[in-house]
């Protein structure tokens, strides 16, 4: 059963080939037996999952159940889940039991989906390798000596190892698309505001966006159909009609205008990765798409702008974790200052501390205009690059990550080298655009990701473009070595 996609599993449930309880037990058994090798889950909610599966079977028997009713999924441990630990992979929240559900969790519950558990991640979503987790690093199922990408590495590894058919994730600067690329998956980051952020613990509020990690674009469409909604509880959520994201999947690509930005194919891109991307471009040409050279001239400023804006917002968002109201509290504080200092020093990891300090510095009175305000001005230029490009093309195509998965520890001592892993994905978040990564081949037996960027609220078109590629190729069907 675990070899099937979500769409195939949904059909199997309706054909009574198996029940949701049987399917859920199957995945729970695999998690218990296999996940110690990958560390993709922080919390497994077996009892809750089986109870949800039993209710889903009742709904399925009565007919007219939503398409994902009875389908097991995993939630990234950044989304609040009522009565279940929500840790953000941090010692700071190791003892936090969420008192409510995030909106997207409620949406999946209403659809009858089954929650298998909460997946591992970089601490507070800060990282590109899933090495900053308080619960230890996640290992890439394609090569357990390599990272799975971050920050949604646990979600990616769980799907790549067939320990869940699909998983929720979040993307602040590439944290869905980069793990998708490194683990051979389909990773979708919707338009900013398309999916509610209510109940998603904030890293950088103007950049964070919930999305999906699946094996196929069709499965991503099914998940987005469930999680996309207008939410009045989230002031950043946009009241935009939710379309059926599966409706366009089978449309031919004849006449599709694909933009190829020259800035995405320069120095720093692994030569073999570039070849796999070029091969994918040729596939699109054979499907009837037309190729157009474009320029995104401010691309080189995306990383420095992001690493001012994101830490600034993180320093503000994480100021609430002080050892007073909830979260980790140091033992026997001498006074209030000691309580604050030791609780935060003990509760946060090194990368989180680094970003808090950078952000506080950028927001300080003497440097606000020089750094934060300037970064926001650069952000506007980056957005305008995309606006101009989409006047002439329908989709922008390029690599997702500069190279395949890298070895553990190879970049941890060089934060800048780690930050550059997101060089092709960050601009999409700064502009608030939807982005998607799909597998397009292997380099040294490790997956390579192809990134597609669409115009605002063009998720249906992006999924169509990805689905047609997957109909013409079999990269999405390739499985990590040794996966049963």
Catalytic residues: 76, 151, 175
SS3 160: helix
Distance CA 119, CA 158 (A): 8
- Please choose, from the candidates 243, 76, 227, 215, the residue with its C-alpha nearest in 3D space to the C-alpha of residue 152: 76
Distance CA 157, CA 138 (A): 7
**With 0-12 CB in 10 A as exposed, 13-18 as middle and 19+ as buried, what is 171?**
buried
- Is the Cβ–Cβ distance between 96 and 87 less than 8 Å? yes
What is the sign of the dihedral through the CA atoms of 326, 331, 335 and 339?
negative
Which helix (H) or strand (E) segment holds residue 443: the answer is strand 435-443
Indicate if the alpha-carbon torsion angle 107, 113, 117, 119 is positive or negative: negative
Q: State how beta strands 114-119 and 72-76 pair.
A: parallel
User: Alpha helix locations (H) across 287-335?
Assistant: 302-317
Give me the DSSP letters along 225-286.
HHH----TT-TT--------TTTTTT---TT-EEEEEGGGGSTTS-HHHHHHHHHHHHHHHH
Cβ atoms of residues 323 and 330 within 8 Å: yes
CA distances, 410 to each of 146, 392, 413, 414, 415 (Å): 9, 40, 8, 8, 11
Residues in the chain: 484
Q: How are beta strands 186-189 and 166-171 bridged, if at all?
A: unpaired
Residue 255 tokens read as 């006449």
């Amino acid at each position: 059963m675990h070899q099937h996609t979500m769409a195939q599993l949904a059909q199997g449930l309706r054909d009574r080939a198996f029940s949701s309880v049987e399917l859920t037990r199957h995945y729970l058994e695999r998690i218990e037996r296999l996940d110690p090798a990958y560390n993709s889950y922080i919390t497994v909610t077996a009892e809750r999952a089986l109870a949800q599966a039993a209710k889903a079977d009742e709904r399925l028997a009565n007919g007219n159940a939503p398409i994902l009713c009875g389908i097991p999924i995993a939630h990234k441990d950044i989304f609040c889940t009522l009565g279940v630990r929500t840790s953000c992979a941090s010692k700071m929240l190791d003892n936090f039991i969420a008192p409510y559900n995030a909106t997207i969790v409620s949406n999946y519950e209403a659809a009858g989906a089954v929650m298998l558990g909460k997946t591992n991640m970089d601490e507070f979503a800060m990282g590109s390798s899933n090495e900053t987790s308080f619960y230890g690093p996640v290992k890439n199922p394609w090569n357990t000596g390599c990272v799975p990408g971050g920050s949604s590495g646990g979600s990616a590894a769980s799907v790549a190892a067939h320990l869940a058919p699909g998983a929720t994730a979040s993307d602040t600067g590439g944290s869905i698309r980069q793990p998708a690329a490194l683990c051979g998956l389909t990773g979708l980051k919707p338009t900013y505001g398309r999916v509610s952020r209510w109940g998603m613990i904030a890293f950088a509020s103007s950049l964070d966006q919930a999305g999906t990690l699946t094996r196929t674009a069709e499965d991503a469409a099914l998940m987005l159909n469930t999680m996309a909604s207008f939410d009045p509880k989230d002031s950043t959520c946009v009241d935009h009609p939710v379309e059926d994201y599966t409706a366009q999947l089978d449309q031919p690509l004849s006449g599709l205008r694909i933009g190829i930005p020259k800035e995405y194919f320069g120095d720093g891109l692994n030569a073999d990765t570039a070849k796999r991307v070029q091969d994918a471009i040729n596939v699109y040409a054979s499907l009837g798409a037309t190729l157009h050279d474009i320029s995104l001239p401010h691309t080189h400023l995306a990383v420095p702008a992001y690493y001012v804006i994101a830490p600034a917002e993180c320093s503000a968002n994480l100021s609430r974790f002080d050892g007073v109201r909830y979260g980790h509290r140091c033992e026997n504080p001498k006074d209030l200052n000691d309580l604050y200092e030791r609780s935060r020093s003990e509760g946060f990891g090194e990368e989180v501390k680094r970003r808090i300090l950078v952000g506080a510095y950028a927001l300080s009175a003497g440097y606000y205009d020089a750094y934060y305000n300037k970064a926001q001005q650069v952000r506007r230029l980056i957005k305008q690059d995309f606006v101009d490009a989409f006047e002439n093309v329908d989709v922008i195509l390029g690599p997702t990550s500069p190279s395949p998965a890298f070895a553990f520890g190879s970049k941890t001592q060089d934060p800048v080298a780690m930050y550059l892993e997101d060089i092709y994905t960050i601009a999409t978040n700064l502009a608030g655009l939807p982005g998607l990564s799909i597998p397009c081949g292997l380099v040294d037996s490790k997956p390579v990701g192809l990134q597609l960027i669409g115009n605002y609220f063009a998720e249906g078109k992006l999924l169509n473009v990805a689905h047609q590629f997957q109909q013409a190729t079999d990269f999405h069907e390739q499985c990590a070595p040794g996966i049963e």
